[in-house]
Amino acid sequence: MNFSLKSIHHFATSLSDLAWGWPLVFLLVGGGIYLIIYSRGLPLRGLGLAIQLVSGRFHHKDEEKAPGQLSHFKALSNAIAATVGLGNIGGVAVAISTGGPGAVFWMWVTAFIGMNTKFFECTLSVMFRGKDYLGEVQGGPMYVIEMALPKKLHWLAYLFAIFGLLGCMAMYNVNQLAEYLEVHYNMERMWVGIFVAIFISYILMGGIRRMAQFTSSLVPFMCVVYILSCLIILVINYQLIPSTLWSIIREALLPSAVGGGTLGWAFKEVLIVGVKRAAFSNEAGIGTAPMAHSNVKTNQPISEGLVAMLGPLIDTLIICSMTALVILISFPNRSYMQAEGVLLTLSAFEKSLPHWGGHILGISIVLFSITTMIGMANYNEKCWNFLFKGRWGLGEKTFIVFFAFSLWLGALFPLETALNFIDAGLGFMAFPNMIATIILAPKVGKALKEYFAEFINTQKK
CATH number of the domain bearing residue 285: 1.20.1740.10
Residue 261's pLDDT is 44
Helix H or strand E segment including 131: strand 130-131
Contact indicator for 70, 304 with CB cutoff of 8 Å: no
Domain extent at residue 417: 9-460
Say if 163 falls within a structural domain. yes
Q: Is residue 4 part of a domain?
A: no
Distance CA 289, CA 80 (A): 8
Percentages of the chain per state (helix, strand, coil), in multiples of 5? 80, 0, 20
| Residues sharing a CB contact under 8 Å with residue 8, sequence separation 6 or more, in sequence order | 413, 417
Classify residue 1: in a domain, yes or no.
no
Question: Per the domain annotation, does 231 fall within a domain?
Answer: yes
- Domain count for the chain: 1
Q: How far apart are CA 49 and CA 314, in angstroms?
A: 16
Burial class (CB in 10 A: 0-12, 13-18, 19+), 355: exposed
Q: Is residue 3 part of a domain?
A: no
Chain-centroid distance of CA 185 in Å reads 28
- Alpha-carbon torsion 183, 201, 221, 290, what sign? positive
Residue 51 lies in a domain: yes
What span, in angstroms and rounded, lies between the C-alpha atoms of 233 and 355?
14
pTM of the predicted model as reported, rounded to 2 decimal places? 0.79
pLDDT of residue 263: 44
Those residues whose C-beta lies under 8 Å from the C-beta of residue 448, and which sit 6 or more positions away, are 39, 42, 43, 123, 302
Which pLDDT value is given to residue 288? Answer: 85
Angle of the 102-127 helix axis to the 301-308 helix axis, nearest 10: 160
CA proximity to 10, closest of 414, 437, 430, 461: 414
Residues 350, 43: Cα–Cα separation, whole Å: 40
The Cα diameter of the chain in Å comes to 71
3 state DSSP class of 435: helix
- Name the strand (E) or helix (H) holding 375: helix 357-388
List the chain residues with pLDDT less than 50: 1-3, 68, 257-265, 459-461
Residue 393 maps to a domain:
yes
In a domain, 313, yes or no: yes
Q: Kindly write down the DSSP assignment for every residue of 218-237, as one continuous string.
A: HHHHHHHHHHHHHHHHHHHT
Quick one: which of 290, 328, 364 has its CA closest to 78?
290
Give the integer Cα–Cα distance in Å for 450 and 123: 14
pLDDT at site 265? 45
Distance CA 58, CA 51 (A): 9
With b for 16 or more beta-carbon neighbours within 10 A and e for fewer, the 260-296 pattern comes to: eeeeeebbbbbbbbbbbbbbbbbbbbbbbbbbbbbbb
Q: How far apart are CA 305 and CA 124, in angstroms?
A: 8
